[in-house]
Chain A
């Protein structure tokens, strides 16, 4: 129980207090730097954990011949090919500034197999996945947004003004307005809504989030919030 509950709690409280205190005490700044370095490296190693979980889940799907096991095999194949090509820096020329070091070259260019995978597989797929959301957001908005009350109507009108104000259509539609009413042109109205009203709302939300994060962090550092511990204590 000590190893599963008390030690992790002590580590969390110690690391957290160290970070908080070193922010105010400059001589302890090196501790904060070291903790950040450790954090970065442990985060990078966490990718290996994610990859391990992916392998485990897909191999189990394939071995059980579950529904869609062929797609699991494709995932696994794509993963392994990218991993081997990237880890081995296959086909990468050394850096011109240090050609004596075989692995000194940059592999993020389309000349290399890893760069090829990024440019012709990962980048188009991720961009298209996000582009697909345009249809779903529009479809969801069409079904969910109804001007049932004044507040919802304001939301809809603002969204419409911002959408139009950011396109050439908005500029053309209100281009006829005289100079003294230029503030009502869609592009200016859009900027005003975002810069004044949107800015106020966003600031209030940010202040609320900051207070919430500070309160939750304090609860963790004081050992009052242990919800993260109970999930990880098992094994």
Chain B
């Protein structure tokens, strides 16, 4: 048996032992409680737009009814039990409790990489890749494709199944007889429908890349994305970064409060002057078409100092962000899972 395997076994045994011991001490650990709620709705006429209006009614009169479960604190469960022993309004949620344990074990599996690469880490990594790919695909489908693409191409179906607030147009692309160019709603509809038809064609062309032959067809929608991004960025970057940043730099040196003493004026405008000097000097450093000699060289050297401070601050800020995330994960393990700390008084 290798030394590394021995270490893993010892760590796992100690950890499981501590976990079992923790289960028998105090309030126990790692449980999630939920409170039951009900939604019971019946139709209450129609709105001005002809959509049904729903109101809450007793369950026996409801046309649509379902139960909801919202998370509550362990303290709320203890209080509900003390008030009415054996009540079934606030109960232990098995799915969420299993989820909590799974989240904790996955967190530990990822942290185990700090010691060495191991099967638990690889397993978590594989789950992460699979779940995140599907997650973003599902989000893209329900939040972009359904309301925009299917909402334009199959408005009746989307309105009936997903989005009752969707307005179904009076025109149909498949029946030119319904088209009425004099109707003010016609051209916006035509624009929307045409855009989505082009998007659908481009989308299918893009998916052609997965076919064994003719993958070059995917180059057409890609060309659209490249061209559009270039055209949009060319103007927006110049406006929002170049011009806006230059304007902000200039304005920061202008005294805006009248009646200040010379001393206050100096201290008030000093930061703005330092920023202006810094921007000009850093830009001198970025200027590669002129040799860094004389005045330009001096300014470039000052620019390097500014950049060093900028990178140092950015580094410190990034590390702080990561440490905050780490603290949040540790708090999750100690508070939500192990119930060793209770900073938000969820249990006491």
Interface residues of chain A, those whose CB is within 8 Å of chain B, are 3-4, 7-9, 11-20, 23-24, 30, 33-35, 37-54, 56, 68, 71-72, 74-83, 86-87, 89, 93-94, 96-104, 107, 110-111, 114, 116-135, 137-138, 141, 151-152, 154-163, 166-167, 190, 192-211, 213-214, 216-218, 220-221, 228-229, 232-235
Given known pairs A3-B216, A42-B225, A217-B233, the reply for A132 and B111 (CB within 8 Å) is yes
Measured CB to CB, the nearest residue on chain B to A145 is B315
The count of chain B contact residues (Cβ–Cβ below 8 Å) is: 140
Between B138, B278, B317, B329, the greatest number of chain A beta carbons within 10 A of the residue's beta carbon is seen for: B138
**Pair A159/B329 contact, Cβ less than 8 Å:** no
B139 to chain A, nearest CB (A): 8
Segment at the A interface, from B73-81, B205-213, B255-263: B205-213
> Is B175 an interface residue, CB under 8 A from the partner?
no
B63 to chain A, nearest CB (A): 8
Nearest 8 Cβ contacts at the A-B interface:
A200-B278, A201-B310, A158-B312, A78-B130, A19-B231, A162-B316, A86-B138, A204-B282
B184 to chain A, nearest CB (A): 14
Given known pairs A86-B134, A107-B142, the reply for A158 and B225 (CB within 8 Å) is no
A235 to chain B, nearest CB (A): 3
**Pair A220/B319 contact, Cβ less than 8 Å:** no
**Pair A75/B130 contact, Cβ less than 8 Å:** yes
**Pair B191/A232 contact, Cβ less than 8 Å:** no
**Pair A41/B199 contact, Cβ less than 8 Å:** yes
A82 to chain B, nearest CB (A): 4
> Is B241 an interface residue, CB under 8 A from the partner?
yes
Query: Bound complex: CA of A79 vs CA of B136, how far in Å?
Result: 11
**Pair A71/B131 contact, Cβ less than 8 Å:** no
**Pair B315/A4 contact, Cβ less than 8 Å:** no
Within 8 A of A (CB), among B180-205: 191-192, 194-196, 198-200, 202-203
Measured CB to CB, the nearest residue on chain B to A212 is B237
**Pair A39/B286 contact, Cβ less than 8 Å:** no
**Pair A235/B313 contact, Cβ less than 8 Å:** no
Measured CB to CB, the nearest residue on chain A to B69 is A111
Mask, B50-75, CB within 8 Å of A = 1, is 01101000000001101011110000
B154 to chain A, nearest CB (A): 13
| Residues of chain A lying within 8 A (CB to CB) of residue B248 | 203
| Residues of chain B lying within 8 A (CB to CB) of residue A137 | 318-319, 322
List 19 A-B residue pairs with CB atoms under 8 Å apart, sorted by A's residue number.
A16-B227, A20-B235, A43-B225, A44-B149, A45-B207, A48-B137, A54-B129, A79-B133, A87-B141, A110-B99, A133-B322, A155-B315, A190-B316, A200-B278, A204-B307, A213-B233, A228-B222, A233-B219, A235-B218
Segment at the A interface, from B8-16, B19-27, B83-91, B162-170: B162-170
> Is B5 an interface residue, CB under 8 A from the partner?
no
**Pair A34/B134 contact, Cβ less than 8 Å:** no
> Could you say which of B113, B138, B221, B320 contacts A132, with CB atoms under 8 Å apart?
B113
| Residues of chain A lying within 8 A (CB to CB) of residue B165 | 98
Interface residues of B, dominant DSSP = helix
**Pair B162/A101 contact, Cβ less than 8 Å:** yes
Measured CB to CB, the nearest residue on chain B to A149 is B308
**Pair B279/A203 contact, Cβ less than 8 Å:** yes
**Pair B231/A76 contact, Cβ less than 8 Å:** no
**Pair B207/A52 contact, Cβ less than 8 Å:** yes
Within 8 A of A (CB), among B75-129: 95-96, 99-100, 102-104, 106-107, 110-111, 113-114, 122-129
**Pair B319/A20 contact, Cβ less than 8 Å:** no
B229 to chain A, nearest CB (A): 8
Q: Besides the contacts A37-B199, A217-B229, what 14 more A-B pairs have beta carbons closer than 8 Å?
A: A13-B227, A37-B148, A42-B199, A56-B210, A82-B130, A82-B138, A103-B162, A120-B100, A154-B308, A201-B306, A207-B242, A208-B286, A228-B222, A233-B216
| Residues of chain B lying within 8 A (CB to CB) of residue A87 | 138, 141
> Is B254 an interface residue, CB under 8 A from the partner?
no
Given known pairs A127-B328, A137-B318, the reply for A50 and B219 (CB within 8 Å) is no
Given known pairs A99-B41, A119-B99, the reply for A45 and B203 (CB within 8 Å) is yes
Query: Bound complex: CA of A88 vs CA of B111, how far in Å?
Result: 33
Within 8 A of A (CB), among B266-284: 271, 274-279, 282-283
Query: Bound complex: CA of A100 vs CA of B229, how far in Å?
Result: 41
| Residues of chain B lying within 8 A (CB to CB) of residue A71 | 122-123, 125-126
Query: Bound complex: CA of A141 vs CA of B131, how far in Å?
Result: 32
B314 to chain A, nearest CB (A): 7
| Residues of chain B lying within 8 A (CB to CB) of residue A97 | 54
A159 to chain B, nearest CB (A): 4
> Could you say which of B196, B216, B323 contacts A41, with CB atoms under 8 Å apart?
B196
Query: Bound complex: CA of A186 vs CA of B221, how far in Å?
Result: 52
| Residues of chain B lying within 8 A (CB to CB) of residue A7 | 220, 223
> Could you say which of B68, B129, B138, B282 contacts A205, with CB atoms under 8 Å apart?
B282
| Residues of chain B lying within 8 A (CB to CB) of residue A49 | 206-207, 209-210, 218
Query: Bound complex: CA of A89 vs CA of B95, how far in Å?
Result: 17
> Is B4 an interface residue, CB under 8 A from the partner?
no
Measured CB to CB, the nearest residue on chain A to B200 is A41
**Pair B234/A20 contact, Cβ less than 8 Å:** yes
**Pair A151/B308 contact, Cβ less than 8 Å:** yes
